[in-house]
Amino acid sequence: MPPIPSRAELIDHFVRTRIAGDVATPRDNNLSHYRKLANGDRHYWLGLELGDRWTDEQDVLAVMAERCGVVDDPEHRTGQDTIDPELTVDALDRMATVLRKAAEGGQRVLFATGHPGGLLDVHHGVAAALRAAGCEIMVIPSGLQADGGYVFQFCDVAMLERGATLWHTHSPEPMAAILDGLAREGRPLPDLVVADHGWAGCAGQRGIDAVGFADCNDPALFIGEAEGTLAVTVPLDDHVVDPRYYDPMTAYVIDAAGLTAQP
């Protein structure tokens, strides 16, 4: 684990590595996803039930400008878009508060990711720190299937595997399989889920405290936080060119939560 950065150092790091600031996700892709969410395409709802509350894509854009830091001008249709690194660190601080509460209460915590190529080690590092602080890092039931693949756990993190490959997925179905599997076995549900994409949305929709990471083209989790369905949504580019770029962020949030990074 790298040295713990200050807030200013972390913001500078985010901008240099494009985790935030001028990010790689293009503006037209963002707007297309906002429109599809508003048009009721459930792929973009990430497991949340949004009803008819977000049928105007300009309302979605307004939430994303406020909570993620994308350009708020609806006439900006192509080219560069942004994530405000100040908002990213603010959200990390809110996440740290949730993690601190989990540690103090010895909570059951479930980790999952739909971005194994980017965020696996972030989740693994936080899981190890919470276990050392006395939390139960939940073990998922075996043999679970969803979306034509298997839901399994590696490095304390649940993921979707298909054809011997870890899959990038936005689907809520793998998380639904885990929660339903726990219920079938008569095991308690998690007190907290730390995840992203549909893994976080599904957990929040089922009433479980959930915190998640989300890119600027994944508006549903930001709406979930705005409505109180998710506890925290952290805005960031969720798959930059080198996953090691996330290491300073992991160190920061572990320290902010009063936890100790594990070797």
- What average pLDDT values come out for the chain (263 residues) when binned by 10 residues? 93 98 95 98 98 97 98 93 98 98 98 96 98 98 97 97 95 98 98 98 98 97 98 97 97 98 92
Give phi and psi for 101, each to the nearest 5. Answer: -60, -40
Measure the CA–CA gap between 255 and 84, rounded to whole angstroms.
22
Secondary structure percentages of the chain, helix, strand, coil, to 5: 45, 15, 40
Predicted local confidence at residue 1, as pLDDT: 72
Pinpoint the alpha helices (H) of 133-227. 173-184, 197-205, 220-227
Q: Are 179 and 97 in contact (CB under 8 A)?
A: no
- End-to-end, the C-alpha distance of the chain in Å comes to 7
Measure the CA–CA gap between 194 and 190, rounded to whole angstroms.
10
Single pTM value for the model: 0.97
**Residue 134 CB coordination number (10 Å):** 12
Measure the CA–CA gap between 119 and 240, rounded to whole angstroms.
10
Look up tokens 């962020």; give the residue. 249
Look up tokens 């599904």; give the residue. 202
**Residue 75 CB coordination number (10 Å):** 5
- Nearest of 132, 130, 163 to residue 147 by alpha carbon: 163
* Cβ neighbours of residue 53 closer than 8 Å, sequence gap 6 or more: 227
Q: Are 131 and 82 in contact (CB under 8 A)?
A: no
Measure the CA–CA gap between 104 and 169, rounded to whole angstroms.
32
Strand (E) or helix (H) holding 144: strand 144-146
Helix, strand or coil, per DSSP, at residue 159: strand
- Read off the amino acid at residue 22: D
- Read off the amino acid at residue 56: D
Pairing label, strands 209-214, 192-196: parallel
